[in-house]
């Protein structure tokens, strides 16, 4: 079993896609190579919940030797075996990108957050929080791990913030993969001060980490004025949370920099303009050993603090 927690949390994020109803969560594969359930090392198998009219939101809680793991499921992809209506409703929730909250702040959170993801979080938390509480009280370790891919990666900071409020004496560790953006700069600043061990992995030309679309990408695409204006309204001051671990096409990792962001936007805009949509979509995957996020997680195992091209500690 891999000792590296990043690989194991990536596998837990992959297993979250196996949630089907409230109850035990099916395995996503065996063996000792991530991504697979067999490499996680569950001491208490995960218990999942779904919320939403069509079960479009889901998360689970389980335990490993080091602590309690909470994983949030990403957006369900279209395809065989998936309820088309559930997929449509799930994607529609992702599109509700206005930063919103009661009296300017969603209850229990600083700043403003993505309204669709906030609603998804509230639905799963209402059903999962008692099992999380039971798991935390039953586990001798003082660490709670949070993970998720795509939409699950976006919701993970909301989960981590709530866990910090409920369990102030516990260490919170967050690893997200291909997360969409979740909140405004006020939320990002408060979150960064409270959650200090959060690495977000973003791979090559995956467009999801730029969603809702950044103004730089809207400008780079050269969208018509009306379309560009509508797209720009979806940004409304989103800020990034966690420390970036950017995975290059060759699987190596580097940290954040202004030059990197400019280069990523330019390359992504060029591929979109050239119609290379299939490649952009392929960058989002994390279910096969050859996928960029999986290769990056293995590379992260070899990168220690202060080692490599400004790579963050992982």
CATH number, domain of 103, equals: 3.40.50.1820
Q: Does position 272 have pLDDT exceeding 90, yes or no?
A: no
Q: Does position 306 have pLDDT exceeding 80, yes or no?
A: no
What's the count of helices (H) and strands (E) in the chain, helices before strands?
10, 13
Q: Which of 143-152, 247-256, 302-311 has the lowest mean pLDDT?
A: 302-311
Predicted pLDDT of residue 97:
56
45: its two tokens = 């198998």
Identify the DSSP state of 274: T
Buried b (16+ CB within 10 A) or exposed e, 34-58: bbbbbbbbbeeebbbbbbbebbbbb
User: Alpha-carbon distance 81 to 88, whole Å?
Assistant: 14
Q: What is the mean pLDDT of residues 152-171?
A: 96
Predicted pLDDT of residue 103:
47
- Decide if 99 is inside a domain: yes
- Decide if 309 is inside a domain: no
Domain that holds residue 167: 5-302
Q: Which of 87-96, 238-247, 250-259 has the lowest mean pLDDT?
A: 87-96
User: Alpha-carbon distance 8 to 66, whole Å?
Assistant: 11
How many domains is the chain partitioned into structurally?
Answer: 1
Q: What is the mean pLDDT of residues 165-194?
A: 94
Identify the DSSP state of 309: B
- Decide if 59 is inside a domain: yes
10: its two tokens = 């990536």
Alpha carbon of 223 to those of 207, 212, 218: distances in Å?
16, 15, 6
Predicted pLDDT of residue 253:
94
User: Alpha-carbon distance 59 to 25, whole Å?
Assistant: 10
User: Alpha-carbon distance 180 to 205, whole Å?
Assistant: 13
- Decide if 184 is inside a domain: yes
Q: Which of 1-5, 51-55, 131-135, 296-300 has the lowest mean pLDDT?
A: 1-5
- Decide if 312 is inside a domain: no
Higher pLDDT, 218 or 128: 128
Higher pLDDT, 155 or 308: 155
Mean per-residue pLDDT of the chain: 82
Rounded to the nearest 10 degrees, what angle do helices 185-194 and 151-166 cross at? 50
- Decide if 314 is inside a domain: no
User: Alpha-carbon distance 232 to 234, whole Å?
Assistant: 5
Band of the pLDDT at 236, cuts 50, 70, 90? low
- Decide if 310 is inside a domain: no
- Decide if 307 is inside a domain: no
Instruction: Give the SS3 label for residue 90.
Output: helix
Instruction: Please say whether the beta carbons of 224 and 194 come within 8 A.
Output: no
Predicted pLDDT of residue 214:
54
Predicted pLDDT of residue 110:
87
User: Alpha-carbon distance 263 to 246, whole Å?
Assistant: 12
Instruction: Please say whether the beta carbons of 84 and 161 come within 8 A.
Output: no
**Nearest alpha carbon to residue 176 among 212, 200, 211:** 200
Q: Does position 76 have pLDDT exceeding 70, yes or no?
A: no
Q: Does position 172 have pLDDT exceeding 50, yes or no?
A: yes
Predicted pLDDT of residue 212:
75
Residues in CB range of 272: below 8 A, 6 or more apart: 207, 221, 280
Strand bridging mode 57-64 / 67-72:
antiparallel
What DSSP element (H or E) covers 116? helix 115-138
């Amino acid at each position: 079993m891999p000792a590296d927690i990043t690989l194991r949390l990536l596998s837990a994020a992959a297993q979250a896609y196996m949630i089907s109803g409230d109850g035990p969560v099916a395995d996503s594969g065996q063996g000792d190579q991530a991504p697979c359930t067999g490499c996680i090392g569950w001491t208490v198998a995960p218990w999942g919940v779904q919320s939403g009219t069509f079960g479009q939101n889901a998360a689970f809680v389980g335990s490993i030797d080091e602590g309690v793991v909470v994983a949030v499921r990403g957006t369900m992809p279209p395809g065989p075996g998936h309820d088309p209506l559930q997929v449509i409703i799930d994607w529609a929730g992702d599109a509700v990108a206005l930063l919103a909250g009661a009296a300017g702040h969603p209850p229990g959170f600083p700043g403003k957050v993505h309204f669709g993801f906030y609603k998804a979080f509230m639905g799963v938390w209402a059903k999962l929080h008692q099992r999380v509480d039971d798991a935390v009280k039953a586990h001798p370790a003082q660490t709670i791990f949070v993970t998720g891919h795509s939409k699950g990666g976006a919701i993970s900071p909301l989960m981590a913030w709530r866990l910090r409020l409920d369990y102030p004496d516990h260490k919170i560790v967050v690893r997200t993969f291909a997360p969409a953006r979740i909140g405004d700069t006020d939320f990002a600043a408060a979150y960064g001060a409270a959650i200090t061990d959060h690495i977000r992995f973003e791979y090559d030309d995956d467009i999801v980490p730029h969603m809702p679309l950044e103004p730089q990408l809207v400008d780079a695409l050269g969208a018509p004025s009306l379309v560009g204006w509508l797209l720009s309204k979806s940004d409304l001051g989103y800020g990034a949370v966690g420390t970036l671990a950017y995975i290059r096409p060759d699987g190596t990792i580097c940290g954040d920099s202004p030059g990197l962001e400019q280069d990523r936007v330019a390359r992504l805009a060029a591929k979109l303009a050239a119609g290379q949509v299939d490649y952009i979509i392929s960058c989002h995957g994390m279910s096969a050993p050859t996928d960029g996020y999986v290769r990056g997680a293995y590379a992260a195992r070899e990168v220690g603090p202060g080692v490599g091209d400004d790579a963050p500690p992982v």
